Amino acid sequence: MTLRSIHARGYNNFNDQCSRIFHEINMMLMNCKNTPNIVYVYQRYGDAVMTPEQIMFGFRYIGIHGLEKTPDFWNVILPTVKKQLKTLDRQTTNALKQCI
């Protein structure tokens, strides 16, 4: 049995991976209160596992709460967001809205 790990357009859906991992990422992001914690989640799971909504949530959280933009923000989070933003389409409107 083959599993599809990444959508043909280049993004993941929540059901493309083990539900435990999906919920683990959600719980980690929900409890991150500073930029280094969010960077850790991005480094641990990356865009190969995280859904577009999860990627944009971390990016949006930093912007809304005015968190410090450390060098890791520029080297880890921003390239991931840019890479994911190129693949978004009408199926991922929530992620687009969060990024804007």
pLDDT band of 51, cuts 50, 70, 90: confident
Report the domain count for the chain.
Answer: 1
Is the model more confident about 14 or about 8? 14
Is residue 42 one of the residues assigned to a domain? yes
Q: Percentage of the chain surpassing pLDDT 70?
A: 84
* Sequence-distant contacts of 26-34: CB under 8 A, at least 24 apart: 26/54, 29/54, 29/57, 29/58, 29/61, 32/58, 32/61, 34/67, 34/68
Range of the domain at 58: 14-99
Rg of the chain on CA atoms, in Å: 13
Could you tell me the two tokens for 91? Answer: 């199926």
In single-letter form, the type of residue at position 58 comes to G
CA 40 to chain centre: 12
Is residue 65 one of the residues assigned to a domain? yes
